[in-house]
Amino acid sequence: MADYLLFNSRIIAQHVVIFGLAIYAYLRADAPERIATSVLPAMIVLQYVNQIVFPEGGSYEAIEIGDLVIDSLALVVFAGLAIRANRIYPLWLLGAQLIAVMMHFLRDISAGMEGGVYFILTRAPSYIQIVALMAGLYCHRRRIARYGSYRSWRTS
């Protein structure tokens, strides 16, 4: 019972933080921050849709195709953002997402991997992304306060 409550409260707290960051970015940040903070809430919504469409999934005893598709889409968005944005934190977002996507392929290679390990290895990078988004938003606001407005996108 305690494990169930701890697990659900962790999920709720994580979702509150992610949606809070997205709201803050839409109110106080520029386009790269808005795009970056839109990806994680979109992943959450797509994950719930995935669970509704494929209710038999979620055992993590084999590759979760829906999760792989969602993670791959996020990887593409973060890659584009990391290449074009005049920011450093999208590289952290991309690196963490690359870890999550690679864990899906590791699951295919390593048949002896436990389902719980697979679940953790694909979910843990989201905590790195949350910290990177927080740091990116903080640094962006601090830089604007110190130096004024600056370019959001690279020109070369």
Residue 125: give the domain boundaries. Answer: 2-147
The average confidence (pLDDT) of the chain is 89
Q: What is the DSSP string of 50-89?
A: HHHH-TT----SS--HHHHHHHHHHHHHHHHHHHHBS-SH
Say if 33 falls within a structural domain: yes
Say if 66 falls within a structural domain: yes
Rg (Cα) of the chain, in Å, rounded?
17
What pLDDT does residue 1 have? 47
Domain count, the chain: 1
- Give the model confidence (pLDDT) of 40-89 as tens digits: 999 999 999 998 988 887 777 778 889 999 999 999 999 999 999 999 99
- Cα separation of 105 and 135, whole Å? 29
Show Cβ contacts of residue 37 under 8 Å, excluding neighbours closer than 6 positions.
18, 21, 22, 24, 25, 26, 29, 133, 137
Q: Quick check: 2 pLDDT over 60?
A: no
Prediction pTM value: 0.89
Mean pLDDT of 4-19: 81
pLDDT: which is higher, 6 or 124: 124
What pLDDT does residue 108 have? 77
The answer to whether 98 and 75 are in contact (CB under 8 A) is yes
Mean pLDDT of 80-100: 96
What pLDDT does residue 55 have? 83
Show Cβ contacts of residue 17 under 8 Å, excluding neighbours closer than 6 positions.
130
- Helix 31-53 crosses helix 2-28 at what angle (to 10 degrees)? 140
Say if 21 falls within a structural domain: yes
Say if 155 falls within a structural domain: no
User: For residue 4, what pLDDT band results from cuts at 50, 70 and 90?
Assistant: low
Say if 110 falls within a structural domain: yes
